[in-house]
């Protein structure tokens, strides 16, 4: 019935290739499981039935309009994560960097200065001063920011009804990767998630691209905040500003090409997208002056407490500095950008890139790889790219072209993708119906399997192909994770297996567990092995069975 | 190559880690292959141990150019005094111009026996002074190019594919996979060998049996092969019982993370599991404040650093014929001390190369001098050796890499630029 419904979609022509015609189609239930796995983080108990009653096509369309889905459970889960709502300036004020705070205290005479030394936060005496200052003023250590942001990602992925939205947040966060370990980025990332990625995850690509270009997190990560025209006028006020923009060490002044290069290679055109080194230089010129006001927060912590300095409200926000901008004429990918354009130069560049055919192809390829197969079928990539172009880069329309395609719904695509660690952890928590606080207990497992959130150093982001995730160390940690989850050995995460698997007899227990975790999609041989392995039935048996099934090859796939 | 020979080699390997074999041990498949791979080439397995000093070590106080008067002019508080045999707080002369920091005396015998070479004024030609960028460039071995997705050691592994390589072919003794080791080739990262096991409390053994059976069922399953390798490795490590390891030749590893890592690397080398690339790192070198001179912060770090390397060398004994230790750090530090008796981010640095096959007892590289007009950007030790020439020489002459182009993309690393510390 669902197949008939889907067949009415213009983009769907089922079983029209000889290859898929030979194979049987996915069953209705498999199609639901497939959609729950790919458009979301796997099924929770009862999800398959829920989708069945809504209707699969209807469910997919709902997921494509997340703004219309009520999401109170997830929002309640994250409501205590205060960093999510705070501005960057507030984060600087509440989660100051210890060394910076000590320097500020010393400058204001609140800390005795011994000789000329800048205070060392490791020093015993200073540690005590810091400890007290943090405590008395209700401040917290900066590590807390990333802990809460990671928790929010996990909680939303586990509990949100807007599953596709969370998948797309993960996808774009990775596409526009920013590393939390680089300088000020940990203070800038909550805003990146909230103001840059989330509002644009299902909208127009051009808007998402502009948002990332103006995001302090990206400006810092790819150094554009330091990129200034070589003939920038160094006036008095400017010098102070320029000093604050720079790293503490002496820095070359001038144009920094880093963002310009990655913008074309990784964000839009792709490495073979037809740009030249000259284009990189010209694009870099267009973005000179796109910078951050007080990128390291200035004296935010002390200012906030002393109640001074109005500027602190804007610390860590985007601003265009016309005096740092190279206002000459530029040529980007053959388009002339006339002199005197100022801020518009960057906007024009982004427009050229967002609408370039190479971008449509590059984004379509990445989406198809993510949602369908590690080896993206070229015909589907072409159709997705056409949908992208026709809709002026509408992400929703591009996704539709993929979800309602023959290739997406083919048996070849079913459970063909290896889950990445984040996907594995979230889907395991969902499938056994565990309750989690999304805390460090879960972050550590994701990191151990090789995908620490916001922990990828280079701008290309984590790989979306199985070969990067199938290795001895990673596989061992996957097995251990399943055992830890089922055995309630992950701090902050609890599962009540007894309540979910009410089966005193072992073959029944195994069958129920298999149904719950892999929807029964497991080889007879594996089931036989499980039966053989479980000889006793006691209080720990359910944890053992579930742990083993979470570690099977079948559950590593989606 | 017959089975009997293998069993023999296998037992030698196992015996060397202190195993008494009451029952004949069926050696895991990867170990058989490791032995086969070694023998087929007619030589022993070569191993590289790479140590990254994260945070930028002050190379000028590690390998002291005491023959430079400007060194003393620019570092009134933190310079290491000229060698004075009777005073243990002076530089240890190496060649009348350079000296070791006094807390590195553990390495002096290795210099004297010509097993330790130094490449001074070496490093990255990129002039970034950001730790993040400079480490990135050194580990990817593509200075100035940020988008390189893999590390140089991984590219080496890719360039010399081994059929069904041992899971222990490349190991990083670190919590996270370092940039230098990231990439398509399989690498294990672990901070502790004992953690490489199925962890399910009391039922660990039976759970492991369960997983093993599950993963051996379906041979068409792409994860099955990796699963089997994993269990081979687990079983092997369990037999080897890393917690029981006793260093040989009276070697005493210092307490701390680097000593621990090197001890475990030594153990794997002796176990003959096919280890080719080992990586580890050690931090704390970013001495902006109160760096100290013959004593103090940097002295303590160098003491730990050098005694860990010396213990490793001693522990491995004759096996150092096939092992090279290579140290690196992202950039050097300013020649002039700052207002806080520390040093700031600089440019060129010194690298150490150690092993029985190394032509040691020599400081390699052209010395650019420390006079004010000889300094890079007026403040730092100038660079005369690109770090890729050092990496390249180790890769080619020790590991036998034949495709340096793929290991160092965009750079022509070739014998004409090698320093000659390996023949």
The tens digit of pLDDT for each residue in A366-383 reads: 999 999 999 999 999 999
Residues in a beta bridge with B118: B352, B363
Residue A320: which of A256, A228, A247 has the closest Cα?
A228
At residue B135, the pLDDT reads 94
Position A253 pLDDT exceeds 80:
no
- Domain count along chain A: 1
CB-CB neighbors (< 8 A) of A547 in chain B: 200, 207
- Token pair recorded at residue A480: 């251990």
Can you give the pLDDT at residue B35? 58
Domain span including residue B45: 32-192+251-417
Q: Give the confidence band of A248 by pLDDT, cuts at 50, 70, 90.
A: very low
In a domain, A529, yes or no: yes
The closest CB to that of A487, out of B136, B200, B210, belongs to B200
- Percent pLDDT > 70 in chain A is 89
Position of tokens 């010209």? A282
In a domain, B243, yes or no: no
Query: Looking at beta carbons, which residues of chain B come within 8 Å of A553?
Result: 214-215, 218, 221-224, 227
pLDDT for position B36: 56
Residue B339 domain-assigned?
A: yes
Position A235 confidence tier, pLDDT thresholds 50, 70, 90: very low
User: What's the number of domains chain B is made of?
Assistant: 1
- Would the CB atoms of A455 and B341 count as touching at under 8 Å? no
Residue A447 lies in a domain: yes
% of chain B surpassing 70 pLDDT? 89
Candidates A460, A470, A487; nearest CB to B147: A460
Predicted pLDDT of residue A107: 81
pLDDT per position as a tens digit, B60-71: 999 999 999 999
Q: Is B81 among the domain residues?
A: yes
Lowest mean pLDDT segment, chosen from A110-119, A288-297, B161-170: A110-119
Give the residue from chain A lying closest to B178, CA to CA: A457
Residue B43 confidence (pLDDT): 64
B130, B184, B214: residue with CB nearest A552: B214
Q: What is the dihedral of CA B398, B404, B408, B411, to 10 degrees?
A: 120
Residue B344 with chain A: CB contacts under 8 Å:
249
**Considering the domain boundaries, does residue B222 fall inside one?**
no
Q: Residue A401 falls within a domain, yes or no? A: no
- Asked if the model's pLDDT at residue A59 lies above 60, the reply is yes
User: How far apart (Å, rounded) are the C-alpha atoms in residues A279 and A272?
Assistant: 13
- Cβ(A464)–Cβ(A369) below 8 Å: yes
Q: List the Cα angle B172/B178/B183 in 5-degree steps.
A: 95
Looking at the domain assignment, is residue B13 inside a domain? no
Chain B interface, mutation test: which of A118, A476, A541, A557, most B Cβ atoms within 10 Å? A476
pLDDT at residue A9, as a whole number:
39
Backbone angles phi, psi at A91, to 5 degrees: -65, -45
Q: Is there a contact between B136 and A457 if contact means CB atoms under 8 Å apart? A: yes
Distance between B74 CA and the closest CA of chain A, angstroms:
18
CATH of the domain at B105: 3.40.720
A-B contacts at Cβ under 8 angstroms: 136
| Chain B contact set for A527 (CB, 8 A) | none
Count helices and strands (H / E) in chain B: 13, 12
Would you call A291 helix, strand, or coil by DSSP?
strand
Per-residue pLDDT tens for B119-129? 999 999 998 88
Cα distance between residue B224 and residue B219, in whole Å: 6
- Is A175's pLDDT higher than 60? yes
For residue B45, being part of any structural domain is answered with yes
Chain A interface test: which of B223, B231, B286, B378 (most A C-beta within 10 Å): B223
pLDDT at residue number A395: 98
- Picking from B211, B289, B339, the nearest residue to A551 by CB comes out as B211
Distance CA B349, CA B381 (A): 7
Return the residue matching tokens 């100051």: A96
- Name the one residue in this structure whose structure tokens are 């003794």: B173
Q: Taking CB atoms and an 8 Å cutoff, what residues of chain B touch A98?
A: none
Give chain B's mean pLDDT: 88
pLDDT 10s digits, A401-447: 999 999 999 999 999 999 999 999 999 999 999 999 999 999 999 99
In angstroms, rounded to a whole number, what is the distance separating the alpha carbons of residues A42 and A163? Answer: 9
Q: Which residues of A223-248 are buried (b: 16+ CB within 10 A; e: fewer)?
A: bbbbbbbeebeeeeeeeebbeebbee
Residues of B in contact with A266 (CB under 8 A): 147
Is residue B215 assigned to a domain? no
Closest-CA distance of chain B to residue A178, Å = 13
pTM (whole model) above 0.90: no
3-state secondary structure (DSSP) of residue B282: strand
What residue numbers bound the domain in which A531 lies?
417-556
For an interface test with A, give the residue of B200, B290, B334, B338 to mutate (most A CBs within 10 A): B200
- Has residue A516 been placed in a domain? yes
The total of other beta-carbon atoms located within 10 Å of residue A136's CB is 9
Neighboring chain B residues of A183 at a CB cutoff of 8 Å: 132
* pLDDT at residue A473 is higher than 50: yes
Residues of chain B with pLDDT under 70: 1-43
Which of A448, A449, A367, A351 lies closest to A403 in space, CA to CA?
A367
Among candidates B167, B218, B290 on the partner chain, residue whose Cβ is nearest the Cβ of A523: B218
């Amino acid at each position: 019935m669902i197949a008939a419904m889907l067949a009415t979609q213009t983009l769907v022509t089922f079983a029209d290739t000889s290859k898929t015609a030979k194979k049987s189609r996915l069953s209705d239930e498999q199609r639901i499981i497939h959609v729950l796995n790919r458009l979301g983080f796997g099924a929770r108990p009862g999800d398959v039935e829920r989708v069945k009653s809504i209707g699969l096509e209807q469910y997919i369309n709902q997921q494509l309009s997340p703004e219309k889905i009520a999401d109170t459970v997830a929002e309640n889960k994250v409501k205590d994560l205060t960093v999510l709502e705070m501005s960057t300036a507030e984060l600087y004020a509440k989660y100051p960097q210890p060394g910076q705070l000590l320097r500020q205290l010393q400058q204001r005479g609140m800390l005795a200065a011994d000789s000329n030394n800048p205070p060392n936060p490791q020093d015993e005496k200073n540690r005590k001063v810091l400890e007290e200052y943090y405590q008395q003023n209700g401040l917290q250590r900066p590590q807390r920011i990333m802990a809460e942001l990671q928790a929010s990602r996990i909680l939303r992925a586990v509990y949100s009804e807007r599953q596709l939205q969370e998948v797309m947040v993960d996808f774009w966060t990775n596409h526009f990767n920013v590393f939390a370990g680089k300088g000020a980025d940990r203070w800038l990332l909550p805003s990146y998630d909230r103001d840059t990625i989330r509002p644009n995850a299902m909208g127009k690509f051009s808007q998402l691209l502009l948002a990332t270009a103006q995001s302090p997190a990206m400006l810092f990560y790819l150094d554009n905040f330091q990129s200034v025209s070589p003939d920038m006028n160094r006036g008095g006020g400017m010098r102070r500003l320029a000093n604050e923009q720079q790293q503490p060490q002496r820095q070359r002044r001038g144009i920094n090409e880093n963002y310009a290069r990655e913008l074309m290679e990784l964000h839009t055109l792709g490495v073979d997208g037809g740009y030249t080194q000259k284009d990189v230089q010209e694009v870099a010129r267009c973005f000179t002056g796109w910078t951050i006001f007080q990128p390291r927060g200035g004296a935010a912590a002390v200012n906030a407490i002393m109640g001074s300095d109005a500027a602190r409200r804007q610390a860590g926000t985007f601003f265009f500095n016309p005096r740092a901008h190279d206002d000459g004429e530029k040529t980007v990918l053959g388009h002339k950008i006339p002199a005197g354009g100022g801020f518009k130069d960057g906007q024009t560049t982004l427009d050229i890139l967002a609408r370039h055919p190479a971008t449509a192809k590059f984004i379509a390829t990445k989406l198809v790889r993510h949602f369908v197969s590690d080896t993206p079928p070229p015909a589907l990539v072409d159709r997705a790219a056409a949908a992208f172009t026709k809709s002026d880069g509408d992400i929703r329309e591009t996704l539709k072209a993929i979800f309602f395609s023959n290739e997406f719904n083919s048996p070849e695509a079913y459970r063909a993708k290896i889950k990445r660690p984040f996907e594995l952890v979230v889907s395991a928590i969902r499938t056994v119906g565990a309750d989690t606080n999304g805390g460090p207990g879960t972050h550590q497992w994701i990191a151990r399997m090789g995908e620490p959130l916001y922990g990828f150093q280079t701008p290309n982001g984590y790989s979306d192909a199985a070969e990067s995730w199938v290795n001895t160390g990673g596989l061992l940690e996957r097995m251990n994770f399943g055992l830890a989850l089922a055995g309630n050995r992950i701090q902050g995460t609890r599962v009540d297996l007894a309540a979910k698997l009410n089966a005193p007899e072992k073959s029944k227990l195994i069958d129920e567990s298999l149904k719950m975790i892999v929807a029964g999609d497991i080889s007879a041989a594996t089931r036989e092995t499980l039966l053989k392995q479980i000889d006793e039935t006691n209080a720990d048996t359910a944890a053992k069975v579930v742990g083993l099934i979470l570690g099977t090859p079948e559950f590593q796939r989606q | 190559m017959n089975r009997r020979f293998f069993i023999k080699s296998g037992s030698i390997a196992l015996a060397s880690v202190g195993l008494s074999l009451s029952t004949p041990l069926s050696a895991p498949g990867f170990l058989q292959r490791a032995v086969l791979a070694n023998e087929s080439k007619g030589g022993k397995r070569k191993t590289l141990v790479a140590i990254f000093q994260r945070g930028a070590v002050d190379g000028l106080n590690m390998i002291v150019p005491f023959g430079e008067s400007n060194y003393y002019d620019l570092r009134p508080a933190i310079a290491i005094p000229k060698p004075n045999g009777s005073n243990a707080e002076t530089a240890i002369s190496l060649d009348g111009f350079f000296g070791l920091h006094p807390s590195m005396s553990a390495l002096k015998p290795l210099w004297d026996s010509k097993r330790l070479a130094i490449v001074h004024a070496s490093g990255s030609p990129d002039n970034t002074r950001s730790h993040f960028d400079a480490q990135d460039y050194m580990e990817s071995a593509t200075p100035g190019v940020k988008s390189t997705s893999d590390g140089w050691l991984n590219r080496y592994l890719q360039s010399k594919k081994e059929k069904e390589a041992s899971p222990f072919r490349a190991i990083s003794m670190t919590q996270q996979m370092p940039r230098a080791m990231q990439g398509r080739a399989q690498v294990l990262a672990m901070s502790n060998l004992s953690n490489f096991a199925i962890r399910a409390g009391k039922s660990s053994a039976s759970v492991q049996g369960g997983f093993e059976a599950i993963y051996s069922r379906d041979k068409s399953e792409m994860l099955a092969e990796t699963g089997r390798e994993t269990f081979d490795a687990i079983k092997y490590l369990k037999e080897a019982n890393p917690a029981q390891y006793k260093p040989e030749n009276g070697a005493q590893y210092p307490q701390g993370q680097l000593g621990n890592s090197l001890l475990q690397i030594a153990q794997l080398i002796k176990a003959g599991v096919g280890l080719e690339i080992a990586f580890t790192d050690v931090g704390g070198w970013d001495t902006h404040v109160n760096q100290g001179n013959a004593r103090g912060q940097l002295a303590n770090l160098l003491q730990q650093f050098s005694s860990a390397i010396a213990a490793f060398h001693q522990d491995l004994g004759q096996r150092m014929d096939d092992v090279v230790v290579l140290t690196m750090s992202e950039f050097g530090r300013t020649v002039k001390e700052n207002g806080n008796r520390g040093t700031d981010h600089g440019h060129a640095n010194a690298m150490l190369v150690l092993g029985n096959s190394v032509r040691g007892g020599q400081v390699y590289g052209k010395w650019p001098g420390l006079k004010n007009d000889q300094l890079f950007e007026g403040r730092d030790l100038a660079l005369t050796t690109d770090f890729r020439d050092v990496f390249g020489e180790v890769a080619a002459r020790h590991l036998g890499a034949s495709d340096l182009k793929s290991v160092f993309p965009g750079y022509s690393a070739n014998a004409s630029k090698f320093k000659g510390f390996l023949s």
